[in-house]
Chain A
Amino acid sequence: MPETTCSRSLDAEPVRVWDYVKDMDNWAHFIMGYQHHEVIDDRRSTWTLKGEAGVLARTVTFDVDIVEWVEPSRVRFTLTGVTERMDGGGEFTVGATQPETPAPPPARVGVFRRWLTALLRRVTRSPAAAPVTPVGIGACTLTFTLSMQAGGMTGPVVNAMIEPLLAVAAEDLAEKVSAEIGRVP
């Protein structure tokens, strides 16, 4: 299943980031190809997006169901295609970043980085390759994971078309959300 993960370090208190993320109206319009969404209840909503894959553009409607809500750190959801045979899911995680420490001697950098990376990976569930930069006091890491898979006969072809788009869309969303909250460069 095509999947992508991206993280951004934010110069903001985790609780502030969570307050922003938990209200989808704050960031819905930042989603690439966003057309509109409708909130049905606390757990369910319907989203219509316009995605471009190569020379084609398709407007797709998804049912979004929140399946896990761990305040103030994690929300996990599933996607079910209404107009397309396409399913997936994703999650937002907000994790506290360790306070900045003085630069360690070169010989100890590797050890510190490994420890910090492992800790952040556990907190944010991000893959080992995800770039994470510790920032100032009160900072946190926002991680966004998105997966999507087309079904049916042409599913492999559609997946091949959407795979490169997922990463672009996730990065774009993370960038815009970060900018909105106020990311430390």
Chain B
Amino acid sequence: MTDAEYDIVIVGSGGGGLSGALAAAEAGARVVVVDSSERVGGTFAYSAGLVWVPDNHLMAEAGFQDSAAEALAHIRELSGGRHDDAVLQSFVQHAPEVVRWLAEDIEVPFELVGSYPDYYSDRTGGKEGGRHLSSRTFAPRDLLPPEWQSRLATSPHFAGLPASWLEIQEWGGLASMATWDWHEMARRLTADHRSMGSAIMGYLLAACLKRTVEIRLGCRAERLVTVDGRVTGVEVTDADGRVSTLRAAKGVLLATGGFDANDDMKRQLDPYADTHGIGSPTVDGSGLVMALEIGARFHAMDGQLTTPTFAIPGEEADGRQLYRSAVREPAFPGGIVVNTAGRRFCDESFYRSLCHEMAAFDVRSQSYPNAVAHLVFDQRWKDDYALGPVSPGETPPWIVSADTPQELASLIGADGAALAATLDTYNRDAVRGEDPEFGRGSTKYGRNSGDRTVIPNPCVRALEGRLYAVRLHLGSSGTNSGLAFDPVGRVRHVRGHLIPGLYVAGNAGANLVEGYWYNSGSSNAKALTFGYLAVRDMLDPAAPDA
């Protein structure tokens, strides 16, 4: 492989990378995308494909009221002041413009998932719906050249779910899976339809190929090339081990994702590291390392984008145990989550609460008391709801069950007397649909995750009859810490100035807000937005050079 000259070199083929590539191609720039993976899509393709954009054009058309000022007030309140306000303002201002461009010029068929609420919809500036977009399913056989159809990454989490978010909402949500048309799902699967994040990445890839964007897969970026402090290219190694330099006249965009697949980096950088990467296995922090080598500033934040998960023994994806997302299941009525002490510890209907408490450190006991947690549910829950790919009523051997709380507790290593007491306490209030201890179903997000047919509280029902339990684990769909950057994605040096020629998008850059705030789809929106802004800045002759 010989050296080559481009205007823009993009490292990473996820949402940020291809958004930037399309912005470059639309402007007529010479652009190349390299990715160490053999498939396009990065973390974005593994995601649920939601894109959180306040004041987006589709919500306005559907009659939802919103404004940038409300979104800013919302995030500022939740960040506790720990954010870069200029970067935040840039995101809120430009994200609607970017998704409109993607919808109208790039032809990504975004749909409004109108009933999907903000996590904190009851806080200042929060919305009960309208800020979440997703796309229709994607048919590679219709929209991609044959040689590219197998090069679009598919999320193992949604491989058997070829449906759009809008359809899922219209079909009654995930608690109603038993009533869906699974024969239609099978038809779509046979036709290789993609959904969620893979669908959006499919539309972006199709648009890139249509514009003859050069994409090199199996091509690993090794280090940034600099001249007098300016980033002028990237040294890469191709699949055959040949090393070359891709020179970038205008700039390099790092869109390599976070480090959620790199256990060593998580142990070094995060307060709670016992998480399982559920995104692309190639998201290993390589972009961060390249930037840190030339003095980039690393912004350490609290924790990761965690998700409750469960594991089916023997189920693998990407050569490792698959941890399946269990965001909704703990919210279904007739279930609770307990620790080894046999006690509840959070509002299980709001998965952010569950994740936060599972990772919480207790100073007095010098331990993580909720790290080993089990979802406990009753016979009716088992009969009515699916657990990932497990059909209602089906009980594979890895789901433990017992007739009494004491017996169940002995099977999961919990305190039997405490579990019995926990159930007595919970059931006493649950018969009225109440959970005074932790407030299951007290948030719009929690109620939206529950079973809408259960009243008065879609997340609360007393547990009766035979009991079942499944171990929960913390999964990591992304990392919060990352490179510090300015409002157009330019990477900051550790001494404060900007590094000329170096830009970042997506999870390689630090989260917008330090702390635990984010929404489903906010990382995806950030990636799309800053990929676009970075390239636009590279190509703007009036933009001041750092």
Chain A positions 58-77 with a Cβ under 8 Å from a chain B Cβ: 58-60
Bin the interface of chain A by size. Answer: 20 to 34
Q: Please, how many angstroms separate the alpha-carbon atoms of A58 and B312 in the complex?
A: 9
A82 within 8 A of B: yes
- The interface residues of chain A lying within 8 Å CB-to-CB of B177 are 153
Q: Please, how many angstroms separate the alpha-carbon atoms of A153 and B177 in the complex?
A: 8
Of the listed stretches B95-103, B254-262, B384-392, chain A binds B384-392
| Contact between chains at B314 and A60 (CB < 8 Å) | yes
A54 to chain B, nearest CB (A): 5
B245 to chain A, nearest CB (A): 34
| Contact between chains at A58 and B391 (CB < 8 Å) | no
Q: Please, how many angstroms separate the alpha-carbon atoms of A182 and B177 in the complex?
A: 50
Q: Given A55-B154, A55-B317, check contact A153 B182 (CB 8 Å).
A: yes
| Contact between chains at B156 and A55 (CB < 8 Å) | yes
| Contact between chains at B386 and A156 (CB < 8 Å) | no
B515 within 8 A of A: no
Q: Given A83-B397, A161-B189, check contact A54 B159 (CB 8 Å).
A: yes
Chain A positions 12-65 with a Cβ under 8 Å from a chain B Cβ: 50, 54-60
Mask: chain A, 141-185; 1 = CB below 8 Å from B; 0 = not: 000000000011111111111010000000000000000000000
Chain B positions 277-299 with a Cβ under 8 Å from a chain A Cβ: none
Centre residue among A55, A82, A151 by max chain B CB count within 10 A: A55
- The interface residues of chain B lying within 8 Å CB-to-CB of A122 are none
- The interface residues of chain B lying within 8 Å CB-to-CB of A158 are 160, 389
B541 within 8 A of A: no
A31 to chain B, nearest CB (A): 16
- The interface residues of chain A lying within 8 Å CB-to-CB of B398 are 83
B316 within 8 A of A: yes
Q: Please, how many angstroms separate the alpha-carbon atoms of A84 and B313 in the complex?
A: 11
- The interface residues of chain A lying within 8 Å CB-to-CB of B146 are none
Q: How many chain B residues touch A (Cβ–Cβ < 8 Å)?
A: 33
| Contact between chains at A155 and B159 (CB < 8 Å) | no
Q: Given A156-B186, A160-B186, check contact A57 B316 (CB 8 Å).
A: yes
B191 to chain A, nearest CB (A): 9
| Contact between chains at A58 and B314 (CB < 8 Å) | yes
| Contact between chains at B189 and A157 (CB < 8 Å) | yes
B327 within 8 A of A: no
| Contact between chains at A56 and B316 (CB < 8 Å) | yes
Q: Please, how many angstroms separate the alpha-carbon atoms of A155 and B186 in the complex?
A: 9
Q: Given A55-B156, A58-B314, A59-B313, check contact A153 B391 (CB 8 Å).
A: yes
A56, A85, A161: the one contacting B394 at CB < 8 Å is A85
B315 within 8 A of A: yes
| Contact between chains at A159 and B315 (CB < 8 Å) | no
Residue on A with the closest CB to B322?
A: A56
A53 to chain B, nearest CB (A): 8
- The interface residues of chain B lying within 8 Å CB-to-CB of A56 are 156, 159, 315-317, 322
B283 to chain A, nearest CB (A): 16
Residue on B with the closest CB to A52?
A: B316
Q: Given A84-B396, A152-B391, A152-B394, check contact A157 B185 (CB 8 Å).
A: yes
Q: Please, how many angstroms separate the alpha-carbon atoms of A84 and B315 in the complex?
A: 12
- The interface residues of chain B lying within 8 Å CB-to-CB of A57 are 315-317
| Contact between chains at A156 and B182 (CB < 8 Å) | yes
A55, A151, A159: the one contacting B159 at CB < 8 Å is A55
Chain B positions 162-185 with a Cβ under 8 Å from a chain A Cβ: 177-178, 180, 182-183, 185
- The interface residues of chain B lying within 8 Å CB-to-CB of A161 are 160, 189
- The interface residues of chain B lying within 8 Å CB-to-CB of A83 are 313-314, 396-398
B190 within 8 A of A: yes
- The interface residues of chain A lying within 8 Å CB-to-CB of B313 are 59, 83
- The interface residues of chain A lying within 8 Å CB-to-CB of B317 are 55-57
Q: Please, how many angstroms separate the alpha-carbon atoms of A151 and B190 in the complex?
A: 18
Residue on B with the closest CB to A85?
A: B394
Query: What 10 pairs across the A-B complex have the smallest Cβ distances?
Result: A59-B314, A152-B391, A153-B391, A156-B186, A160-B186, A57-B316, A156-B182, A160-B189, A55-B156, A157-B160
A/B interface sample: 18 pairs, CB < 8 A: A54-B159, A55-B154, A59-B314, A59-B315, A60-B314, A82-B397, A85-B391, A151-B394, A153-B177, A153-B178, A153-B182, A154-B386, A155-B182, A155-B391, A156-B183, A158-B389, A159-B186, A160-B189
In addition to A57-B317, A152-B390, A154-B391, 16 A-B residue pairs with Cβ atoms within 8 Å of each other are A50-B314, A55-B155, A55-B159, A58-B312, A58-B315, A58-B316, A59-B315, A83-B397, A85-B391, A85-B396, A153-B177, A153-B391, A153-B392, A154-B160, A158-B160, A158-B389
